[in-house]
Amino acid sequence: MGKRYLLYKVCRDGNHRLITWLTASGMEEANLAVKLLRKNHPQEQDLILGEGEFFEIIEEKRLKSGEWEQAMQDLSLRKGGLSPVVAEKGSID
């Protein structure tokens, strides 16, 4: 069974920007999903890292109570943006 993760972009000023959520079998596969997103959506500003920026992937079970639900609500209110990602082994060239 896949695990669910939230993908954040951590900016130089320390702010966390919620990008999307994804499903993967583990953290290694979740990291591969981020690489796939960057490859397939090079124009997506949230996937372009500036100096001092990085991605943070947080597994659902490590979130505070209600945090997953709030993130899903926030993502559902956005227009456009990235769709959720389900990582599949061998999907990254």
Q: How many domains does the chain have?
A: 1
Predicted confidence (pLDDT) per residue in 31-79, tens digit: 999 999 999 999 999 999 999 999 999 999 999 999 999 999 999 888 6
Q: What is the pLDDT of residue 87?
A: 52
62 torsion bin: left (phi>0), alpha (psi -120 to 50), beta (else): alpha
Write out the two tokens for 86.
Answer: 């389900």
Predicted structure pTM score: 0.82
49 part of a folded domain: yes
34 part of a folded domain: yes
Residue 39, domain extent: 3-86
Q: What is the pLDDT of residue 93?
A: 41
Number of Cβ atoms within 10 Å of the Cβ of 75: 17
Calculate the CA 40 to chain-centre distance.
Answer: 14
93 part of a folded domain: no
